[in-house]
């Protein structure tokens, strides 16, 4: 069974640009969550999508947005990039998502570097 797939693995962008990251969940999983991981802050929750609807949103500025498609694949977008956005962005999927007590399954992330 294929795991969670994230593309691309690495990105280098310049301040002010925008970026789109992609995530394909495990087959049959309807929930996709996004996390930002940095050495200082650990994993910080960005948002969760379930059946194309945003179910939860973390404490990030509006420059961070996402969406989910009918096949459960998800994208997140960061506009007007700042140096502090450099991080590992992780996508995770689960069958029913937050609140049901089942574990998240993570992809290997997209390493974003903003120069």
Binding site for another protein (CB under 8 A): 4, 6, 33, 35, 41-43, 45, 48, 55-56, 58, 90, 92, 97-99, 101-109, 111
- String of b and e for 59-83 (b: at least 16 CB within 10 Å)? ebeeebbbebeeebebbbebeebee
Minimum gap (Å) between residue 69 Cβ and another protein: 20
SS3 29: coil
> CA torsion sign, 48 to 53 to 58 to 63?
positive
CB of 44 to another protein, least distance (A): 8
Q: Which is nearer to another protein, 79 or 98 (CB)?
A: 98
Pick 19 or 104: Cβ nearer another protein: 104
């Amino acid at each position: 069974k294929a795991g969670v797939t994230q593309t691309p693995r690495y990105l280098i962008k310049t301040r002010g640009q925008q970026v789109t990251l992609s995530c394909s969940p495990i087959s049959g999983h309807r929930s996709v969550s996004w996390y930002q991981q940095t050495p200082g802050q650990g994993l910080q929750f960005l948002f969760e999508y379930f059946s194309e609807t945003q179910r939860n949103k973390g404490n990030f500025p509006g420059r961070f947005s996402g969406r989910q498609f009918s096949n459960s694949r998800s994208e997140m977008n960061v506009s007007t990039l700042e140096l502090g956005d450099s991080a590992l962005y992780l996508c995770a999927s689960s069958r029913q998502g937050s609140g049901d007590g089942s574990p998240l399954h993570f992809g290997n992330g997209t390493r974003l570097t903003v120069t």
